[in-house]
Structure 1
Amino acid sequence: MDSAEQLSRHFEESRQRLTALAYRILGNSADAEDAVQDAWVRLSRPGATDVAVVTNLDGWMTTVVSRTCLNKLRARAARPESPTDAAGPELHVRPDQALGPEDQALLAEQVSLALHIVLQSLTPPERLTFVLHDSFGMPFSEIANVLGKSTEATRKLASRARQRVHAVDPAEIETNPASQRSVVNAFFAASRDGDIDTLLTLLHPEITFHADGGATRPAASATIHGPENVTRRAATFAIPDATFQPITLNGSAAVIVRSNHQSVSIMAFVISHGRIAQIYSLLDQLRIEQLVNGIGQARQPSDNGSSQSGPR
């Protein structure tokens, strides 16, 4: 078997592992598959990889895939996505209703949504460092090589990322749908009434708000930290004619926000100890339409008396 055949065979045997790594870094299956394929194009160029002189082929492939993912993260931060891009978290919307035993497992997805919200607030180097070290156990010296930084600087990146990620303990996240919904209802009621004091009591001290404008509204993307800053943002939720359809998104209590019968956003909430620890607000009209269509014909506010000033 020549060097090219050996490399091709080893890469295909490692593809599942490399795709899992890319998915954890990028948070999206399509992006992960693209990153792995891009890495293969780089590795398979004539003269790019001499299997005979690479002492750790798995480590080398991991490094190439990691660098490819880092470039994708930086590209996301530097320019708006094309409307055909799949960038962003994989979202699963379900009607807000009593869950059967087979549906209870979906509540575990709430933790992945919570992690996504935090990862979106990290810089590309912080995100890459956290995933490679804390999730895949890669030594800091190897991550430093991927980033082109010193080992000590890489440790500091991981420390900052870890503080953000662990600000909310996954074990403390509320998974009871009724309890989640109660807090969300109180949040919208206080936002509607301009009740700042109540809003502050509902927000976790380490709250993160992530607005995802995606491809259609890239300028709307933002990450906000802290109760006071999120409270100021909450004033924008008080749209006079807004109606809300309760749903669940990745296991979290969520709503489809409509104005003039048009779906303008989907908001999901992560609850910890009775307070809102994280808010994810999807503003990308293309993805909203896809998700709404995915749960069937959305109920219009006038159907069956469902018009309301806040979720029930």
Structure 2
Amino acid sequence: MGKTRQSTEWTTIIRPRSGWFDIDFRDLWHYRDLVLLFVKRNFTVMYKQTILGPLWILLNPLITTVLFNVIFGTIAGLPTEGAPSFLFIMAGNTLWGMFASCINNTANTFVANAGMFGKVYFPRLVTPLSQVLSALVNFFIQFAMFLCFWLYFFFLDPGAGRIAMTLWALYLPLLLVQVMMLGLGVGIIVSSLTTKYRDLAIAVGFGVQLWMYATPVVYSMDSLFNQPTLRLIVNINPMTAPVQVFRKALLGCGTVNVGSLWWSLGLTVLLLLVGVILFSRIEKTFMDTV
């Protein structure tokens, strides 16, 4: 008696991914609840067993702004383009703090989460995205503090300097998205390279500090008028235009170079694209190197 041969149709075929750009954004959206859980976890882990807890979100930028104001505003006497020195520095420090947090917190993604990545499947990009969103939450808290000081100088101490909001304030939501994209792009590039070159994990904090001094956070572009080489370096920096726009929007000081802004946007997209491509390649083999 002959055996009947039944045809089998496969409903799911699993193949290894080998392309350069293998990020499944639909899958990433499907895990959006996990992103929010990681954001909550980031705050819990960071402020666990601390006395002041989330209050450090305000104390860190406040103390830094006071020190910078004493050193660069009072002692060095750097110009602030007519704005109060304290507000001028706090504005730059608030935006820079979000950008620096995006890089520092995503730069160690693979190494810090190797144990979890080796046991559970989920889109690996969820982890750096949660870090960027955590930085955004911190920014909004610090921005609220900045607005309190803004109201104080505007109504109670108008003699300290000129303050005026401009129409550039309408661009601030897009500006925040750009800074997040730039921080995410640089952060995942560093995190991808860190799996093989552990020195980067140590050098990234120092590198971010150097980057800050190449950004007009504590000084104005006017102070570089007689320094053409330094001015060129600062203009090439993709974070220069966002800081200038942020100050122009909220303080009304300085000028916004539209060409520099377009350069910053283009470089942001390029770095993010390179970061996502590199991240998608490294995540397939990082367990062999971590």
TM over 0.5: no
TM-score by length of 1: 0.26
TM-score by length of 2: 0.27
Richer in strand (by share):
1
Richer in helix (by share):
2
Higher radius of gyration, 1 or 2: 2
